[in-house]
Amino acid sequence: MSKKEGLDKKEQFIAEMAAALQRRETIVVGADCEVMYSGRAETLLPPGERLIMIKEDGTLLVHQPHGSAPINYMKESSSHRFVVENDNLYIKSQNQVLHEYLDILLAKVHFFHSAKLSDGQKLQLTGNEKDMANMIAANPAIVEEGLKLVGQEEQTKYGFIDVLCYDAQGLLVVIECKRYKADFQAVSQLRRYVERLKGMKGLARVRGILAAPAITTNAAKMLHDFGFSFAIVQAPKYKERLRKSQKSLGEFENNVEND
């Protein structure tokens, strides 16, 4: 292929991408590329083969062939150009508001595609911390016998307390929920809420209970030091419910294993 043809091919690619951006299509490019970013930090990603995705809202993602998170990215509302400079093909992105800049040097474009995607749907999720808090609020005895609900979340004016109760002795109890194994941070958070509540209500004693399926050894020690207690509470087991009602999930026979 002559250099002229190569240039024409580049120019045609650039024209197609510019049109796709104009039409607010979602773009996918598979390419051998090098990525440079400057903004909140500064990064360099040496040459390799990646998938580049540009969304209609201006989001740009660079994905390596492994891992969940993009290796480089630009947030929504970024602007993008496909340009040739010194015979090199670039994607140049910037976010004026955030003062962020990203350049992708495209050494070789293996494939590309663009299409308008129509999707206004939102994810319906159950089984989060809020659901766990609701479960406890509906039946505080799960955590401790004799607890009576005072309020939940913003219903109280004391900040982001998951569940607030009175215990059998009439003491105020702050319950902090964690869906997974509780750590230092969870205990610190509980401590903060308890102290805030003591200060605001002028109480000498406010109890704290950490409700989670498990707790790290060190966090348990810290919890004990502060005079708080731990309650084993399993997050709602949606997994089992779904697997029961919907047999199609799981139970594979012929798998292509990715070990």
Using CB under 8 A as the binding rule, the residues of this chain from 183 to 202 that contact a copy of itself are 184-185, 188-189, 191-192
- Residue 20 beta carbon to a copy of itself: minimum distance, rounded to whole angstroms: 10
**Footprint on residues 122-151 left by a copy of itself (CB under 8 A):** 123-128
Q: From CA 174, how far away is CA 44, in angstroms rounded?
A: 47
Q: Which does 217 bind (CB under 5 to 8 A by kind): DNA, a copy of itself, none?
A: DNA
Q: Which does 124 bind (CB under 5 to 8 A by kind): DNA, a copy of itself, none?
A: a copy of itself
| Cα four-point dihedral sign 217, 221, 226, 230 | positive
Candidate residues 67, 145, 169, 217; the one interacting with a copy of itself per rule CB under 8 A: 67
Residue 247 is a binding residue for a copy of itself (CB under 8 A): no
Residue 38 is a binding residue for a copy of itself (CB under 8 A): yes
Phi, psi of 258, rounded to the nearest 5 degrees: -120, 85
In sequence order, what are the beta bridge partners of 210?
Answer: 176, 230
* Integer-rounded Cα radius of gyration of the chain: 27
Q: From CA 212, how far away is CA 86, in angstroms rounded?
A: 59
Whether the CB-CB separation of 221 and 206 falls below 8 Å is answered with: no
Q: From CA 146, how far away is CA 139, in angstroms rounded?
A: 10
The region of 7-15, 63-71, 140-148, 209-217 touching a copy of itself under the rule CB under 8 A is: 63-71
Which is closer to a copy of itself, CB of 179 or CB of 229? 179
Residue 1 is a binding residue for a copy of itself (CB under 8 A): no
